[in-house]
């Protein structure tokens, strides 16, 4: 039974061909294409409102130099948001439960923010490794600690997203399995378990949105330190 619980996190394949790329690109097909008409439908209006809201939230901590990152950060957040939400549907695969994918998203973007800071303001970026007013005997230890905390940032981004989504999916499957198993023997308990499952699903929808926002916001804050 433990194996079946974790089977949902294995990448699906058809005739030996992994289907993770299809599951990653499918959310883009749900976005309506924009046209040049002034009067659009409600779907396009809702899409533009959501994109403007997300862009405003992500760009608020940044100055004008950081606004050139608006496209990539907004696209990343929408991508993660759609994948997380679609992964809550039955018989679907959630690519963001794979640590390898999350690290592949987090590490290059974190490295880009770091290189940007070292290129534009190297003294300020390196100054973050040593707080002002540090006693001389503590300088080597603090530099080592700050360097370690800097290097584990992409790992923390990937692990946070993976752990939250994986835990939520496991809880949903465990409670749904208990609901079905108790339906014939204890219907009242099964009904209460189903109510808990419904509330947990609502919570997981919120977690899916929050984790996508946190991922993009932390990258924005890392960028803010380097521009």
**Helix (H), strand (E), coil (C) string for the chain:** CHHHHHHHHCCCEECCEECHHHHHHHHHHCCCCCCCCCCCCHHHHHHHHHHHHHHHHHHCCCCHHHHHHHHHHHHHHHHHHHHHHHCCCCCCCCHHHCHHHHHHHHHHHHHHHHHHHHHHCHHHHHHCCCCCCCCHHHHHHHHHHHHHHHHCHHHHHHHHHHHHHHHHHHHHHHHHHHHHHHCCCCHHHHHHHHHHHHHHHHHHHHHHHHHHHHHHHHHHHHHHCCC
Q: Mean pLDDT over residues 1-18, rounded?
A: 63
- pLDDT tens digits, one per residue of 142-159: 888 888 988 999 999 999
d(Cα 226, Cα 15) in Å, to the nearest integer? 46
- What percent of the chain has pLDDT above 70? 86
Going by pLDDT thresholds of 50, 70 and 90, the confidence category of residue 1 is very low
Predicted pLDDT at 40: 67
Report the pLDDT averaged over residues 16-27: 70
Contact (CB, 8 A) for 223 and 62: yes
pLDDT higher than threshold 60 for residue 182:
yes
CA 166/CA 160 separation, integer angstroms: 10
Q: Which residues of 61-83 are buried (b: 16+ CB within 10 A; e: fewer)?
A: ebeeebeebbeebbebbbbbbbb
Question: Per-residue pLDDT averaged across 94-104, rounded?
Answer: 88
Give the pLDDT confidence of 39-62 residue by residue, as tens digits: 567 777 888 888 899 999 999 888
pLDDT of residue 216: 93
pLDDT averaged over the chain? 84
In Å, what is the CA distance from 54 to each residue of 141, 160, 202, 213?
39, 21, 21, 9
Measured CA angle at 124 (ends 120, 126), to 5 deg: 100
Q: What is the pLDDT of residue 214?
A: 94
Which comes out higher in pLDDT, residue 174 or 91? Answer: 174
Q: Can you give the pLDDT at residue 185?
A: 86
Q: What pLDDT was estimated at residue 138?
A: 79
* Predicted confidence (pLDDT) at residue 3 exceeds the cutoff of 60: no
Question: 142 or 203: which carries more pLDDT confidence?
Answer: 203
What pLDDT was estimated at residue 202?
A: 93
CB neighbours of 199 closer than 8 A, spacing ≥ 6? Answer: none
Check whether 183 has a pLDDT greater than 90: no
Residue 122 has pLDDT above 60, yes or no: yes
Residue 109: per-residue pLDDT = 94
What is the number of other CB atoms lying within 10 angstroms of the CB of residue 59?
A: 17
Confidence at residue 161, expressed as pLDDT on a 0 to 100 scale: 93
- Crossing angle of helices 139-151 and 153-182, in 10° steps, is 50
CA torsion, points 167, 169, 170, 176, in degrees to nearest 10?
140
């Amino acid at each position: 039974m433990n194996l079946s619980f974790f089977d949902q996190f294995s990448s699906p394949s058809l005739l030996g061909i992994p289907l993770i790329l299809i599951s990653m690109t499918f959310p883009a097909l749900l976005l309506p294409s924009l046209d040049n008409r002034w009067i659009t439908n409600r779907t396009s209006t809702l899409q533009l409102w959501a994109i403007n809201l997300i862009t405003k939230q992500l760009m608020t901590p940044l100055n004008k130099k950081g606004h050139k990152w608006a496209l990539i950060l907004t696209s990343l957040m929408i991508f993660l948001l759609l994948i997380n939400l679609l992964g809550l549907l039955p018989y679907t695969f959630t690519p963001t439960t794979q640590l390898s994918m999350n690290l592949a998203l987090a590490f290059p973007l974190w490295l880009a923010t770091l290189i940007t800071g070292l290129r534009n303001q190297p003294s300020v970026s390196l100054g973050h490794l040593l707080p002002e007013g540090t006693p001389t005997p503590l300088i080597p230890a603090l530099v080592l600690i700050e360097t370690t905390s800097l290097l584990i940032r992409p790992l923390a981004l990937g692990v946070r997203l993976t752990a939250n989504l994986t835990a939520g999916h496991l809880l949903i499957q465990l409670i749904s399995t208990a609901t079905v198993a108790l339906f014939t023997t204890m219907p009242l308990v099964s009904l209460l378990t189903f109510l808990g499952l419904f509330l947990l699903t609502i919570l997981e929808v919120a977690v899916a949105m929050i984790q996508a926002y946190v991922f993009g916001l932390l990258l924005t804050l890392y960028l803010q330190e380097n521009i």
